[in-house]
Structure 1
Amino acid sequence: MSTTVRAAAKINLHLGVGAPREDGFHPLDTVYQAISLYDDVTVAEAEEDSLSVAGSAYIDVRDVPGDASNIAVRALAEAACRSPHHVRITKQIPVAGGMAGGSADAAAALLAHDRLHGLSQPDEVLLAQAARLGSDVPFSLVGGTARGRGRGEVVEPVADRGPWWWVVVPARTGLSTPDVYRHFDRLHPDAPAQPAEPTGLLAALASREPVRLARTLHNDLQEPAIDLRPELGALIQRGEAEGALRGMVSGSGPTCVFLCDSQEGAMAVMAALSASYDVVLPAIGPVAGAHVVEVL
Structure 2
Amino acid sequence: MTTPGVRVRAPGKLNVFFEVGPLKDDGFHDVASAYQAVSLYEDLWAEDADEFTIAISGTVDVSTVPADDRNLAVRAARLLAKTIGHTGGVHLDIVKHVPVAGGMGGGSADAAAALVACDALWGSDLSHAELQRLGARLGADVPFALMGGTAIGTGRGDELSPALAKGRFDWVLVTSEAGLSTPEVYGKLDELRDNGAIAFARSQVRDVAPGVLHALRAGDPSALAEHVRNDMQAAALAIRPELRDTLELGDRAGALASVVSGSGPTTAFLAGDRESALDLQISLAAAGYHALHVHGPVAGARILHA
Structure 2 distance, partners of 1:247, 1:268, is: 15
Aligned to 1:249: 260
Aligned to 2:145: 140
Task: Return the offset for 1:239.
Answer: 0.6
Q: Bigger shift: 128-137 or 72-81? A: 72-81
Residue 16 of structure 1: which of 1, 10, 19 is its match? 19
1:112 matched to 2:113: no
What is the CA deviation profile of residues 20-59 of structure 1, one whole-angstrom value per residue up to 9, with x for unaligned ones?
A: 1221110011010000000011111124332100101xx1
Q: Bigger shift: 209-218 or 271-280? A: 271-280
CA shift in 2, pair 1:191/1:41, >3 Å? farther
Residue 39 of structure 1: which of 26, 35, 42 is its match? 42
Residues 107 and 130 of structure 1 are in contact (CA less than 8 Å); yes or no, is this contact kept in structure 2? yes
Q: Secondary structure at the match of 1:212?
A: helix
Aligned to 2:235: 224
Q: Secondary structure at the match of 2:305?
A: strand
Residue 167 of structure 1: which of 172, 187, 211 is its match? 172
Residue 26 of structure 1: which of 26, 29, 52 is its match? 29
Residue 83 of structure 1: which of 88, 93, 113 is its match? 88
TM-score (normalised: structure 2): 0.93
Residues 27 and 193 of structure 1 are in contact (CA less than 8 Å); yes or no, is this contact kept in structure 2? no
Alignment of 1:256-275 (within 5 A): 256-275=267-286
What is the CA deviation profile of residues 197-251 of structure 1, one whole-angstrom value per residue up to 9, with x for unaligned ones?
A: 3221111111222111101101000111111111111101001101111110000
Amino acid across the alignment from 2:274: Q
Residues 284 and 291 of structure 2 are in contact (CA less than 8 Å); yes or no, is this contact kept in structure 1? yes
Structure 2 distance, partners of 1:149, 1:21, is: 15
Residues 185 and 235 of structure 2 are in contact (CA less than 8 Å); yes or no, is this contact kept in structure 1? yes
What is the CA deviation profile of residues 161-188 of structure 1, one whole-angstrom value per residue up to 9, with x for unaligned ones?
A: 1300000111120011111101111111
Aligned to 2:5: 2
Aligned to 2:197: none
Q: Secondary structure at the match of 2:34?
A: strand
Structure 2 distance, partners of 1:277, 1:180, is: 26
CA shift in 2, pair 1:223/1:196, >3 Å? farther
For structure 1, the 5+ residue unaligned runs are none
Residues 52 and 74 of structure 2 are in contact (CA less than 8 Å); yes or no, is this contact kept in structure 1? no
Task: Return the offset for 1:278.
Answer: 4.1
Aligned to 1:98: 103
Aligned to 1:194: 204
Structure 1 distance, partners of 2:112, 2:305, is: 16
Alignment of 1:62-81 (within 5 A): 62-79=63-80, 80=84, 81=86
Task: Return the offset for 1:276.
Answer: 2.2
1:210 matched to 2:221: yes
Residues 16 and 196 of structure 1 are in contact (CA less than 8 Å); yes or no, is this contact kept in structure 2? no
Alignment of 1:150-161 (within 5 A): 150-161=155-166
Task: Return the offset for 1:151.
Answer: 0.3
Identity among equivalent pairs (%): 43
Q: How many residue pairs align between the two structures?
A: 293
What is the CA deviation profile of residues 52-86 of structure 1, one whole-angstrom value per residue up to 9, with x for unaligned ones?
A: 00101xx1111111111100000012222231211
Residue 132 of structure 2: which of 103, 127, 133 is its match? 127
Q: Secondary structure at the match of 2:23?
A: coil
